Amino acid sequence: MRLRDLFAPCAIAVALAGVAGHVAAEPAIYKDADHKLGVELIEQNQCQACHIRRVGGDGSAIYKPQGRINTAAFLRGMVEQCNTELNLGFFPEEVTSVAAVLNRRHYKFTQ
């Protein structure tokens, strides 16, 4: 038996665990989110630059998972509010995608 055969079932188990964990962790309202688009929108709209001016570091201290934003829907609402206030002109699905990226990176809400 070759070493590779020995490890193959293991790799499958890890992959399955990854998929299952992923589905369980993603809030329903983000299930259609386009993460690639969300990342692009965050990069293109000075989110980080402005947050750095406010809190320093890499700007991520602005995202407070233990703060008043405590659900995926609330987080999406916050991004919607920024969208309106900053006149970003995001479409609803773009707001969802940006919120979903922030959730995966920082908030980790499951609902």
Residue 73 Cβ vs ligand HEC, minimum distance, rounded to whole Å? 13
- The reply to whether 70 sits near ligand HEC by the rule CB under 6 A is no
- The reply to whether 98 sits near ligand HEC by the rule CB under 6 A is yes
Provide the phi-psi class of 91: left if phi over 0, else alpha when psi is between -120 and 50, else beta.
beta
Token digits of residue 24:
């369980």
Identity of the residue, 26 or 98, whose beta carbon is nearer to ligand HEC in the bound complex: 98
Q: Distance (Å, rounded) from C-alpha 37 to C-alpha 58?
A: 21
Residue 29 Cβ vs ligand HEC, minimum distance, rounded to whole Å? 15
Q: What is the size of the binding site for ligand HEC (CB under 6 A)?
A: 19
Segment interacting with ligand HEC, rule: CB under 6 A, options 2-10, 18-26, 29-37, 41-49: 41-49
**DSSP annotation of 56:** -
Q: Is 20 exposed, middle or buried (0-12, 13-18, 19+ CB in 10 A)?
A: exposed
Virtual torsion, Cα 82, 83, 84, 88, nearest 10 deg: 130
Interface ranges with ligand HEC (CB under 6 A): 42, 45-47, 50-51, 54, 62-64, 67, 69, 78-79, 82, 86, 88, 98, 102
